[in-house]
Amino acid sequence: MVGRASSLLGALGLRGLAFVAIATGLGVYYTWSLSFWRASEWWDVAFLALVLIPAVMALVWFVLPAWRMRGTFLVGLAFAGAAFALDRADSKELANFSKLGAMTFLAFWFLAFFESSSWVALVAAVIPWVDTWSVWRGPTRDILANREELFSALSISFPSPGEHRAANLGLPDLLFFALFLSATVRFRLRTRLSWLVMTASFGATMALALAFSTDGLPALPLLSAAFFLANGDLIWRRAREGVPAPAPGPAPPQVTEPPPREADAKS
């Protein structure tokens, strides 16, 4: 028991150290990004897709154990309030990560309403159509065209090195990223593969936007496709067989018979 507890504490310690190290590196980059090298647009997209976006999304990975804690909704609201205050104070970098924290913990709270991985799959099948309509014909299109300051407030930025230019991901994109990723933990899906392909989907969306010379593309279609790519076969198999996914958590204690008393053993 003591050895198991120390191993758990060691794992949590390594996770915490990794979180602090990546957060520190991101803080340095966001603070001095204008002082870094300048490159072509395609090199910028490559850097964002292969380095910066994975580093930011790694923060979500490292806080995944918190999906089970109580009060995630209140934590999410606290992060949202901090993001609003920091944005008004013109502290854009800190507001950026407060928004990420808000969407992550609100996603953890939202996950509690899902009873099976099939429910998550249903959401993943519907939201790309809503997102596509919103970007091409709906409110997102109007915000992008006429209310740039509102779009900035409802997204987080990924600044290109050495330039004022930045790519942005909307808050719903971050919410569903954290929802899908935490769902893979709750329903015992492929968490590592999901993180990898879903993170890559954001970079792919940015590359497509540059290739087609458009101001923005919906990110949720590729995000949902990546979730299905990593987990679709498991979700389909469980739904077809009617077998619920095992709930995560510690194994139940083993009940053993007490040894016989000396008097019983002699009789």
Nearest to 182 by CA among 170, 194, 172: 194
> Mapping DSSP to helix (H, G, I), strand (E, B) and coil, where does residue 259 land?
coil
> Would the pLDDT of 173 be above 90?
yes
Amino acid at 151: F
47-70 tens-digit pLDDT: 999 999 999 999 999 999 999 999
| Exposure class string for 186-225: b at 16+ Cβ within 10 A, else e | bbebbbeebbebbbbbbbbbbbebeeeeeebbbbbbbbbb
Q: Can you name the residues that pair with 168 across neighbouring β-strands?
A: 157
Query: Is the pLDDT at 213 greater than 90, yes or no?
Result: no
Place of tokens 């590592």: 192
Percent of the chain with pLDDT over 70: 83
Write out pLDDT tens, residues 144-169. Answer: 666 777 777 888 999 999 887 888 89
Q: Are 106 and 175 a contacting pair, CB within 8 Å? A: yes
pLDDT tier for residue 91 given thresholds of 50, 70 and 90: confident
Under 8 Å between Cβ of 150 and 144: no
Task: Give the pLDDT of residue 239.
Answer: 84
Q: pLDDT-derived band of residue 40, with 50, 70 and 90 as boundaries?
A: confident
- pLDDT tens by residue, 241-263: 775 555 554 433 433 444 444 44
